[in-house]
Structure 1
Amino acid sequence: MAPSAVGSLFAGWPRPWWIAGGYAFELAVGRSWRAHGDIDVLVLRPAAGELHAVLTGWELWAADPPGTLRRWPSDEPLPDHVHDVWCRRPSSAAWELQLMVDEADGAQWRSRRDGRIRAPAASIGGRSADGLPYLRPEIQLFYKAKSTRPKDEADFAAVRPMLDAAALAWLDHALALTIPDHPWRASLTGGEPHTPAG
């Protein structure tokens, strides 16, 4: 699905949601630099029970760790250990949308990866020129940093120059807590630009 189609799908839902993954970077930067194999949307766990109503007629499949997919029925609360929901319309043989479920404590967003990484939920997103909500680049980079692939390095190279001092400090702090020896950190704190190995 294109981001605009996702926007139409979630239009009118009063709960917060953000386009995530590689498309989040594009919406923040305002241009494209690579192809995408899927589209991700971040939602907060307190609203997860409403997703069946938002995606009426869709199949929703919970990804039970470490990655076993099973149908998620509408009358079952999403288990606390499930952070990914794969979605498709019955007419589609392919997955069309991945929902990533993060935690929330009241008005505070809390990372599903590490509970020490948190921020006011109202502050974790931005809006594209055409009004689509996206996950802030520094937060998406934090999620991509765990095990980087060539596309993640390409995203970092494209997005790093546009991050302001506050975003750079946030990402460096998050990585210092979780992956203190991450190679991206040198270029976040005024060191040499990061060049991926190989």
Structure 2
Amino acid sequence: MRTDISNWMPLSVKEINEIFSAIPIRWCIAGGWALDLHLRKQTREHSDVDVIITREEQLTAYRYLKEDWILYRAEDGKLSLWEDGEYLNSTNDVWISKSDESPWAFQLMIIDTEEPYWTYKRDRSIRRPVADIILKTEEGIPYLRPEIQLLHKAGSSKVREKDYRDFQTMLPSLQEQEKVWLKSSLLRQFPQGHDWVRFL
């Protein structure tokens, strides 16, 4: 079991695209990089890089990645090896490195779907067609839609300062329908209200 959670040397978005373009699954860039890809510019430093895959396709991803990488399940604050053939029923987070001592290179975020829908893990009544949650850059790099990424940031039990800054950075570029969806989703998850709603 590894405990070096700060030992990151993330791959570039281009390197991630090269790896995952060779794997026959649905995937996309998530996190802060997804927002920057949408804006077509880097707005801040990123300490890691996140890749979304679906739970149904996790073993296909594992089969391709295990040839060159070591994969660790991240659950309950602990990192443990993802064993060959092991189906992750509840794990949502996988950290990946070249060896058991090398820095972390990227992170897999496993999302749940109920075909043909993606479901939000914190409130499964919030959903979108899977085909609708991914956008692509002009270079063809897939990334998570900004309003969905912002929901993940806002919906956490503790909203970090960088998440709030990301939200403020994204606000001017959000289309009206994206604001409406984000606002209604936040109010569904937080019927008592949420700090970000007043900006939407």
TM-score normalized by structure 1?
A: 0.90
What residue number does 1:154 align with? 165
Picking from 90, 98, 107, the partner of 1:89 is: 98
Tell me whether 1:177 sits opposite 2:188 in the alignment: yes
Q: What is the CA–CA distance in structure 2 between the aligned matches of 1:148 and 1:125, rounded to whole Å? A: 23
- Percent of matched pairs sharing the same residue: 35
Which residue identity does 1:148 align to in structure 2? V
Q: Give the CA deviation at 1:91.
A: 7.4
Q: Is contact 1:20-1:39 (8 Å) kept?
A: yes
Residues 134-153 of structure 1 aligned to structure 2 (within 5 Å): 134-145=143-154, 146=156, 147-153=158-164
Q: Is the 1:10–1:54 contact (alpha carbons within 8 Å) kept by the matching residues of 2?
A: no
Q: Check conservation: 1:83, 1:112, Cα contact below 8 A.
A: no
Tell me what 1:74 maps to: 84
Match of 1:123 in 2: 132
Whichever residue aligns with residue 59 of structure 1, its letter is I
Look up the SS of the partner of 1:119 in the other structure: strand
AA at the equivalent of 1:162? S
Deviation at 1:67, TM superposition (A): 2.0
Q: What are the superposed Cα offsets for residues 81-126 of structure 1, whole Å, 9 maximum, x if unpaired?
A: 2100111111762111110011011221112222111110000011
Q: What is the TM-score when the length of structure 2 is the normalising length?
A: 0.89
- Could you tell me how far apart the structure 1 residues matched to 2:64 and 2:141 are? 17
Structure 2 stretches lacking a partner, 5+ long: 1-10
Corresponding residue pairs, total: 186
Segments of structure 1 that go 5 or more residues without pairing to the other structure are: 189-198
